[in-house]
């Protein structure tokens, strides 16, 4: 590597020394002694490690051009979301085709509460978990009850760093889920057939082709807490995640009043509620794919909705029809209007009607 990176190498070496055991301290590393918190080491990588960073669309040059540039890891992030490179820096990296000096953004997703608490992003993970717990409480999905823990299924917190369509870190998310492997057939669930709100990829291709050919309005809608919308038919108890405490109820558990992520029947319950809502709004389910809903007027398709769990792509003949659908849907669920569709199922959508409906 170029000698100009000796400064970064020195800083990285100091960082490693600060989280390494020394003879001067007992049962602590220097950073722990200084800050009072155990440091997270999940982010550590070999200095100079080769990786690839995303090139922003604005400077990419075209959809057939390279989407990433070769990089070397030069250090650790000092801010939760890092410091983005400027367009000029990306242009220089692309033009020179060298190993750019931009650091890679590495966010290790914790697998347990202990890892989250010791992470450099512990505050962000804690805030994300608080948001998740309040949502379960406010939607009356859970109820604190005193019952033998032997009757309760296990629970788990899943941590996820969400990225936008350009691969940039957007937010931290925590999801409280049930351990379906501990559910007992006949007691916790009775499923003979499972219908999930997950469309086929071929349906997405046909949907996009129709929208482009007919020059339809294309928007995206997100249903907040989709699996928390329908009541459970069974009486299910779940152990409280270890990092959620309530004074005086340490040995209590939760009774699940509504479907929760992770339960074997959650997908079925959400699809049942969604079908009910869409039928009330006048939609028909597709014959080849039940996750495609169609609204017709005078025998003509005026609105189509493609659903993937809690994400919806809404295509309408007129913008007023799309907005009317969103208002009607908001009477059933808590939704977020994402505006023009830009990203769905790993596919980036660029709408440019001056050239073509979308690319």
* Element spanning 33, H or E: helix 30-35
The per-residue pLDDT for 78 is 45
Is residue 242 left, alpha or beta, with left meaning phi > 0 and alpha meaning psi from -120 to 50?
Answer: alpha
The span from the CA of 261 to the CA of 229, in Å, is: 11
pLDDT score of 294: 94
pLDDT of residue 175: 92
Provide φ and ψ at 83, rounded to 5°.
-115, 110
Which pLDDT belongs to residue 356?
A: 55
Q: How far is CA 43 from the centre of its chain?
A: 20
pLDDT reported for residue 305: 95
Apex 295 CA angle, 292 and 299, nearest 5: 120
Provide the 3-class DSSP secondary structure of residue 286: coil
Q: State both tokens at 156.
A: 């788990």
Euclidean distance between CA atoms 229 and 224, whole angstroms: 9
Low-confidence residues in the chain, pLDDT < 50: 77-91, 93-104, 359
pLDDT value of position 8: 79
Positive/negative CA dihedral, 202, 203, 205, 209:
positive
Rounded to whole angstroms, the Cα distance separating 227 from 263 reads: 10
pLDDT in tens, 315-339: 998 999 999 999 999 999 989 888 8
Pairing of strands 50-54, 284-285: unpaired
User: Residue 252's closest CA among 260, 244, 263?
Assistant: 244
Say what the pLDDT of residue 54 is: 76
pTM of the model: 0.58
């Amino acid at each position: 590597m170029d000698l100009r990176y000796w400064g970064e190498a020195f800083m990285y070496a100091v960082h490693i020394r600060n989280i390494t055991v020394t003879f001067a301290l007992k049962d602590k590393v220097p950073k722990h002694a200084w800050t009072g918190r155990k440091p997270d080491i999940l982010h550590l990588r070999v200095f100079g490690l080769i990786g690839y960073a995303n090139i922003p669309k604005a400077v990419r040059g075209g959809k057939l051009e390279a989407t990433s540039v070769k990089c070397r890891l030069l250090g650790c992030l000092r801010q939760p979301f890092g410091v983005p490179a400027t367009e000029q820096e990306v242009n220089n990296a692309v033009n020179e085709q060298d190993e750019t000096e931009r650091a890679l953004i590495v966010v290790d997703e914790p697998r347990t509460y202990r890892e989250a608490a010791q992470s450099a992003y512990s505050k962000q993970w804690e805030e994300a978990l608080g948001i998740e717990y309040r949502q379960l409480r406010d939607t009356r999905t859970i109820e604190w009850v005193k019952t033998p823990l032997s009757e309760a299924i296990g629970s788990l917190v899943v941590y996820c760093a969400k990225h936008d369509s350009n691969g940039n870190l957007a937010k931290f998310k925590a999801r409280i889920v049930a351990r379906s492997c501990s559910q007992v057939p006949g007691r916790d669930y009775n499923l003979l057939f499972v219908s999930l709100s997950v469309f086929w990829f071929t349906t997405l291709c046909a949907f996009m082709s129709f929208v482009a050919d007919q020059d339809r309005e294309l928007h995206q809608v997100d249903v907040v807490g989709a699996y928390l919308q329908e009541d459970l038919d069974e009486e299910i108890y779940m152990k409280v995640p270890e990092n959620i405490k309530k004074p005086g109820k340490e040995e209590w558990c939760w009774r699940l009043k509504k479907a929760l992520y992770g339960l074997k029947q959650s997908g079925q319950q959400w699809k049942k509620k969604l079908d009910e809502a869409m039928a009330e709004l006048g939609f028909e389910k597709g014959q080849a794919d039940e996750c495609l809903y169609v609204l017709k007027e005078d025998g003509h398709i005026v609105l189509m909705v493609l659903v993937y769990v809690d994400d919806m792509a809404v295509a309408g003949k007129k913008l007023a029809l799309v907005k009317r659908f969103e208002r009607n849907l908001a009477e059933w669920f808590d939704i977020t209007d994402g505006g023009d569709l830009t990203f769905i199922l790993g596919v980036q959508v660029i709408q440019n009607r001056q050239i073509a409906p979308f690319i």
